[in-house]
Structure 1
Amino acid sequence: MSKEKKYRKKKKLGHYPFISVIFSMTLALFILGLFALLITTTTSLTKVIQQNVEMQVYLKSNLSEPQQLRISKSLASKEYILNEENIESIRFISKKEAAEKFIEETGEDFMQFLGDNPLKDAYIVKISPEYHSSQKMEEVQKDIENLNGVFEVIYTNNMVQSINENITKISIVLLSISILLFIVISILINNTIKLALFSQRFLIRSMQLVGATKGFIRKPFIYRSILHGIISSIIAAGLLFGLLTYGSQKLEGLAELQNQKMLLIIFSGLIITGVFIACFSTYRAMQKYMAMSLDELY
């Protein structure tokens, strides 16, 4: 009697071996989420690098404090100066402070030989990412040099060019891999569900023979696929969160690169993606099995 009940339970419409489906979907969604985390971390790191592109604005000698303050206000009013919360866009370094830093780094007191401090007061200004192209950086340099009291403006042109080129290359590579990865994962989940539904093909045909509509037959399978998609997505999101927490403890600075809003979007996106692919794959597999002839089912 117990064997008969077990057999009937296995043959219930919409019920099929789901462990392999959940495992495959969880693995696929975990890889997809892991790559999404890589993209967001790379984007955050890129933003940090862009926020630290600086120009050194050296002032003429013997400027008074009001003159220095006027230059600071003029710089702050420029649209190409980075304007971000919690970031110091304009920083003043006196020639005394610069000399002390030089002596600390090199261990040589050059003022003992020269008898004077030849360094100049300077402002270190951060440039907005919109102006990081070579042409715009040159325009910014010339504009600052035209300010009254400015002696010279210096920035590392090669570094700016290298940053722009690498960001472009990385963006293209990540976009290409993302598209390829999504296609591969979709195919993997689709094939897994198709194989899982293979055991139900004769039951589907039996339901058709007794006059059940396609919608009636599909309904329990679609509901089941939604459940599997949600379960797999939650497990994948949990694994990603655990991995991210562990990585933040082991890698210094990783936590600062994480955006809580983006993490929420990624985890929500995993659930939506898991449910969508599971439902779509189940629907296609059902259409295929319902359209097969009896000979093809064998």
Structure 2
Amino acid sequence: MKQYVERPKSQLGSFPIANVIFSTMLALFVMGLFGLLLIHATKLTKTVQENVTIQVYLNKNITENGIVKIDQFLSQQAFVLKRNGGPQILFISKKEAAENFIKETGEDFTQILKDNPLRDSYIVHIDPAYQATELLQSIKKDISDIDGVFEVCYIENLVATINKNVRQVSIVLIFFTIILLFAVIVLINNTIKLALYSQRFLIRSMNLVGATASFIRKPFLLRSMLIGLLAGTIADVLLLSLLHYANLQIDSLPTLQQPIKIFILLACIPLLGIGITFLGTYQAINKYLHLSLENLH
């Protein structure tokens, strides 16, 4: 004779809190992971743009006074990248340029030519706001007109490629951010609604015995906010653990991180969880409060 094992039955109106927390946490984790990727991609893009430079070659007969005037002029220009309040300008004398060339190639051309044909030069880092093709052409002309400047050059194709790729990446990231945010909102909202579906009779019964709408909503809304907070906190812990592991595996990754933006992202994830679960719960309860008893089945 077969023996039947009695399985535990869920109580009427029971709330699947573990499933709701897990689903909400998973959605917030994916959103946070994409946020971290976005922060790192933004920093990488900025780093690439800040390495765009213009080479300014000086006349061979230029005096020390002329070099100082050019240095002062370049330092005061808005198109020059500023870091820690200082312009990113590097002066390379023709002697330094020769030493660097000999060190890199291993050949001392001065022994053959009996002279140093290289020139004093400046390497000027350009602010990303001035890296449009038209602006760079204007900057090149302005610097070329300075007394003592022999030639101004930069790799035009490289700059054009960087600007094009930055625009494309920005569009793609914005598009995926909107799509992912919409998907997260829909997923969490549907999870909340499905969970509250099991409690529709309880909500309706409280309404029938005279409980006000605000009285009925209050415990459900408080619980939903706690779920959003807990799910967001768990997602933050997982994201920090993943980020720490990635930093150990990839040596250059910490240089792309922006602690303030990461902190803001981690703070927003629980808030996003609270907001979405609150709104989803509020809409679901309102729906069941206004349904007739026949439509609840």
**Residue 52 of structure 2 aligns with which residue?**
53
Contact persistence 1:10–1:16 (CA under 8 A): no
**Residue 188 of structure 2 aligns with which residue?**
189
Task: Provide closer, same or farther for how the CA distance between residues 135 and 169 of structure 1 changes in structure 2, counting only shifts above 3 A.
Answer: same
Structure 2 residue matching 1:147: 3-state secondary structure:
coil
Q: Does 1:42 align with 2:44?
A: no
Unmatched segments (≥5 aa) in structure 1: 1-5
Letter in 1 for 2:183: V
| C-alpha distance in 2 between matches for 1:70 and 1:249 | 47
Question: C-alpha displacement at 1:86, in angstroms?
Answer: 7.1
Using structure 2 for the length normalisation, give the TM-score.
0.92
- Superposed CA deviations along residues 157-212 of structure 1, whole A, max 9, x for unmatched, are 11111111111111111111111101111111111111111221111121122111
Q: Does 1:63 align with 2:88?
A: no
| C-alpha distance in 2 between matches for 1:86 and 1:107 | 38
Q: Does 1:253 align with 2:216?
A: no
Count of residues in Structure 1 that have an aligned counterpart in Structure 2: 290
**Map 1:1-298 → 2, pairs under 5 A:** 16-85=15-84, 89-298=88-297
Question: C-alpha displacement at 1:226, in angstroms?
Answer: 0.5
Answer with 96-105 or 207-216: which moved more.
Answer: 96-105
Answer with 126-135 or 80-89: which moved more.
Answer: 80-89
Task: Provide closer, same or farther for how the CA distance between residues 41 and 87 of structure 1 changes in structure 2, counting only shifts above 3 A.
Answer: farther
| C-alpha distance in 2 between matches for 1:82 and 1:147 | 20
Answer with 158-167 or 222-231: which moved more.
Answer: 158-167
| C-alpha distance in 2 between matches for 1:10 and 1:75 | 76
Letter in 1 for 2:193: K
Contact persistence 2:206–2:216 (CA under 8 A): yes
- Runs of 4 or more, structure 1, over 6 Å off, are none
Question: C-alpha displacement at 1:242, in angstroms?
Answer: 1.3
Structure 2 residue matching 1:123: 3-state secondary structure:
strand
Contact persistence 2:192–2:281 (CA under 8 A): yes
Structure 1 residue matching 2:55: 3-state secondary structure:
strand
Answer with 239-248 or 83-92: which moved more.
Answer: 83-92
Question: C-alpha displacement at 1:107, in angstroms?
Answer: 2.9
| RMSD between superposed Cα atoms in Å | 1.9
Letter in 2 for 1:154: C
Letter in 2 for 1:132: Q
**Residue 3 of structure 1 aligns with which residue?**
none
- The percent identity for this pair of structures is 47
Using structure 1 for the length normalisation, give the TM-score.
0.92
Contact persistence 1:194–1:285 (CA under 8 A): yes
| C-alpha distance in 1 between matches for 2:78 and 2:201 | 70
Structure 1 residue matching 2:82: 3-state secondary structure:
coil
Question: C-alpha displacement at 1:135, in angstroms?
Answer: 0.8
Question: C-alpha displacement at 1:96, in angstroms?
Answer: 1.8
Task: Provide closer, same or farther for how the CA distance between residues 86 and 253 of structure 1 changes in structure 2, counting only shifts above 3 A.
Answer: farther
Answer with 242-251 or 83-92: which moved more.
Answer: 83-92
Contact persistence 1:233–1:271 (CA under 8 A): yes
Answer with 35-44 or 173-182: which moved more.
Answer: 35-44
Question: C-alpha displacement at 1:11, in angstroms?
Answer: 6.1
Letter in 2 for 1:292: L
